Chains A and B, each alone.
Chain A
Amino acid sequence: MSALWYQKTAKEIRDAVHTGEATALDIVNSFIAHREATDGTIGAFTQCWDDEARETARSIDEKRQQGQPLGPLAGVPVSLKESFCTRLGKTTGASRILENFQCPYDGTAVTRLAQADAVFLGKVNMDELAMGSSTESSVLQRTVNPWNHDRVPGGSSGGSAASVAMGCSALSLGSDTGSSIRQPASFSGCVGVKPTYGRISRFGIIGLAPSLDHAGPLTRTVEDAALALNVLCGEDPADSTSSDKPVPDFLQGLSQDIKGLKIGVAEEYMTDEVDEEVRGKITEALDCLSSLGAELVKISLPGTAYDAAAYTVISTAEISATLARLDGVRYGMRDPEARTVQDMYVMSKSAGFGPEVQRRILLGTHFLSGKNIQNCFVKAQQARSLIIREFEEVFTQCDVIAGPTTPSVAFPFGSKSDNPVEMYRCDRFTLGANLATHPALSVPCGMTEAGLPVGLQLQARRYDEETLLRVAFHYEQNRGFDLGFPPIS
């Protein structure tokens, strides 16, 4: 039995540690052994903190023996995206420029997980500085899709999704600026939640585009996501954009049924550009929700057509400023050949940043230069306002919006990496929730004939994660299949 702990959910593990059914150490050992058996192929883990993880597990077991109270994630093995700041190990952002960066502090989300008695197994791969949709732009290593090793795991939180789907971590902390939690969750077959902007502190995450950046959990079940959100959400004095709204008990909120809830189905999400097989799975999922008593309503989101343009301008503009600090002056890579201040900037950044990062920094700088501020940046902000209003209006007609997370399933390596525009198109259904800041998640809704997962995206009103999770939970309980684990090759 104990050898199979890695197959258990976070909640099962937590309960087992609380009751004493298992020790945290046994559980951690099970995950480590499973990772050792599989991750050589998958390549999700970039740093393994086995000794420290066992140490933490032992201290949790000791706490229990002494009768001390245990946290809500006691013994749950967690992996962290490379963009989360930790004192332990390195915080590289999967970028050359931070390859050896040792962060002097822990971010808030990490601290909250630690306080809940989670056990950190290590860090996992991502696209360089979270820019990408395939994890191919990481300078650290390649991560493959656990269901088909010729295909990408999605990105940018590709390591998080692959490690969770594979059973190498019960929970992974990811971040999502345009799709980066939901898209890899969809590609790799796990649950990924991007809560409302401000729910989870951004303090201690390598920032990208602060007005769009969100942190969130990747898990194997909706219940586990609710459990993680209970721990992660809440106001943080270190992040003044964090919300002081009370955080309900998301686990408790799952139980109530979904009868009478209105599920909005947008024609813009179900066009011919969406793979037929994906559309089929989404239709089945909608039928399932309908059979549970939810009412499907037709909605229209014409603003979706502007999502990509608004997102590109705003995100790259913010990126161009936020990443300016990675200059080799105080920390990080500095080109040793540089002889002047100007050279230090140019040479360090040219060598330290990959092509996608450079492309976005240059684009963003361009959008903020001269007349472009008015013609591009201000217009994009106006478009964002319209998109926000459109969602507000739609959410008066329905409680939750349902549709595909991505127009197609995981693609083969190299098939889009030379074509950024194609790559950006993967994100077109997910960008709206980042622009309008409402919560959204991806939950597996089936496998294609070729054996690749399909994700159902659900979106809800700002701060209404409760309804969002409830719909996803009831769907998951009644969807009629168990995704299981990818075969170990």
Chain B
Amino acid sequence: MQYEAVIGMEVHVEINCKSKVFCGCPTVFDAPPNSQTCPLCLGMPGGLPVLNRSMVDKSMAVGLALNCRIARETRMDRKNYFYPDLAKNYQISQDDQPLCYDGYLDVDVDGEMKRIGITRAHMEEDTARNSHTVGGGQSGVDFNRSGVALLEIVTEPDIRSAQEAFAYLTALKQLLQYLDVSDCNMEEGSLRAEANISVRPVGSDKFGTKTEVKNVASFSGVQKAIEFEIARQIKVLNDGGTVLQETRGWDADKGVTLSQRLKESAQEYRYFPEPDVPPIVVDDAWIDAIQKSLPELPTARKERFQKEYELSAYDAHVMTLSRAMADYYEAIVKAGADPKKAANWLMVELLALLADAKVEISDSPVSPENLAALIGLIDTNVINGKIAKEVLVEMFKTGAAPAAIVEEKGLGQISDTSALEEAVQAVIEANPQQVADYRAGKDKIFGYFVGQVMKATRGKGNPQLVNEILRRELDS
């Protein structure tokens, strides 16, 4: 039998508010354990949650960017369960009235656009972190993460393959980074993805029993875990078995999912409205203000780059991978560089240097203005492309302006006709045999003469002029 997979994603993303969602504690990653806590996020008696308004702003921005509807009146709820990493033994979350609901995200899957429905995005607080490595048979809890602002984004079961799931996560991360609401760092746990996976015979409109896959530390891990899980479920069914509803953990080393917990019935969370936080009333003015504050989003920006700068779809895609990249690119163009040359220099040369040095584009030692100036030096024949690459390496090292480097190192292109004629003459005299061959019709060795002249001028000869003079001298 032919099966198809039905997948829904649940993504928890830490929102980069300056303080926690219900108290004033800071949220610096990797601070010493329990150094960022207060009576509230430690769950002490008498502590009261005060909702951080910037959390609502940022969550609403995500909702609008995901084409969601925004609830006009919503509230927080208590989700009750006991666990040592949960300071109050209830999590302040949203149950049946999420702030954002009923949206979608268009995702590029191998050049085809696929629309993934967004069921909801709701605000909640993160839990603390349990540690079982403190020794002495003891466990520790670090409450620095307790109460950090968390947005849970849930899709419809619209995803049909591991590849689509990967594309969704990539697009979502790109969107969140464009909105500057999260650093989306899976390794540090600021983005966590879980997949609900089931399979069913092709053509069936019923859902199979789903499993929930957790503990995945990377997008490619998610893709592999889903691939494994789909194959596992199909094998179970083909062998005449039944898929159990359960939570499975991804073991990245072994490349398998393993059963963690059977879900015999839905866990009882005893949700009820959080009495300590007043209802959240959202009016048109608030939504308008957030809507207006949204940056140009990736898809729109990519389309504009194709139109405005005549970039290819691929180039426009790369130039808009991140907001920082797109901003950088546009700054080069704004500083006067030709859009296509700007894309080439950024994509081919600068990105390679950044990748080698493991530096983010936002921290690039080469400013977009200086990169534009470098392109300008080529355009005005001050240096040639080959020298320009050397200059860029120097710019990357020192952050200096290209003109200063060219000046200091004497890299300026030789466009002085008489000096080049001299060099050409010397090459002709030193290579009588090759000259004879060329004149006998062996056109192909013309490049050899160019190379010799460039070597003699240490690469600084204006290539166009060198060509011209060589042709003139050899063909005469």
Contact = CB atoms under 8 A, between A and B. Distances in A.
B165 interface: no
A239 B48 CA distance: 6
A320 to B, nearest CB: 8
A324 B275 contact: no
Interface of B: 39, 42-51, 78, 80, 82, 84, 87-90, 141, 143, 268, 270-272, 275-278
Contacts of B39: 85, 103-105
B275 A318 contact: yes
Contacts of A104: 39, 44
Given A202-B48, A324-B90, A368-B80, A330 B43 contact: yes
A238 B50 contact: yes
What is the interface residue range for chain A against chain B? 35 or more
Central interface residue in B47, B80, B275, by most chain A CB within 10 Å: B275
A205 B84 contact: no
A324 B87 CA distance: 9
A325 B88 contact: yes
B248 to A, nearest CB: 22
Contacts of A369: 268, 270
B42 A330 contact: yes
A317 B272 contact: yes
B45 A325 contact: yes
A209 B46 contact: no
A483 interface: no
Contact of A324 (B44, B80, B268, B278): B80
A369 B276 CA distance: 21
Contact of B89 (A85, A240, A325, A373): A325
Contact of A85 (B45, B268, B270): B45
A148 B317 CA distance: 85
A324 B88 contact: yes
Contacts of B141: 329-330
Given A365-B270, A368-B272, A330 B87 contact: yes
Interface string A298-331: 0000000000000000000110110011110111
28 contacts: A85-B46, A91-B45, A91-B46, A98-B45, A103-B45, A202-B46, A202-B48, A203-B46, A207-B45, A207-B276, A210-B48, A237-B50, A238-B48, A238-B50, A240-B50, A240-B277, A241-B276, A320-B80, A320-B270, A321-B89, A321-B272, A324-B88, A325-B43, A329-B141, A330-B42, A330-B44, A368-B272, A373-B272
Interface of A: 85, 91, 93, 98, 101, 103-105, 107, 202-207, 209-211, 237-241, 317-318, 320-321, 324-327, 329-331, 341, 345, 365, 368-370, 373, 377
Central interface residue in A209, A239, A329, by most chain B CB within 10 Å: A329
A181 B141 CA distance: 38
Contacts of A373: 270-272
Contacts of A211: 275
A450 to B, nearest CB: 39
A210 B45 CA distance: 12
Nearest to A240: B50
B270 A329 contact: no
B278 A327 contact: no
A8 B265 CA distance: 64
Central interface residue in A91, A318, A325, by most chain B CB within 10 Å: A325
Nearest to A213: B275
B51 A209 contact: no
A209 B275 CA distance: 8
Nearest to A204: B46
B50 A370 contact: no
B44 A103 contact: yes
Contacts of A321: 78, 80, 88-90, 270, 272
Contacts of B268: 369-370
Contact of A103 (B46, B50, B270, B272): B46
Contact of B46 (A107, A241, A327, A365): A107
A174 B404 CA distance: 76
Contacts of A238: 48, 50
A324 B42 contact: no
A177 B237 CA distance: 57
A99 B45 CA distance: 13
Contacts of B143: 330
Contacts of B42: 330-331
A315 to B, nearest CB: 11
Given A321-B90, A324-B88, A325-B87, A240 B48 contact: yes
Nearest to A209: B275
Nearest to B81: A324
B470 to A, nearest CB: 80
Contact of B51 (A91, A240, A331, A368): A240
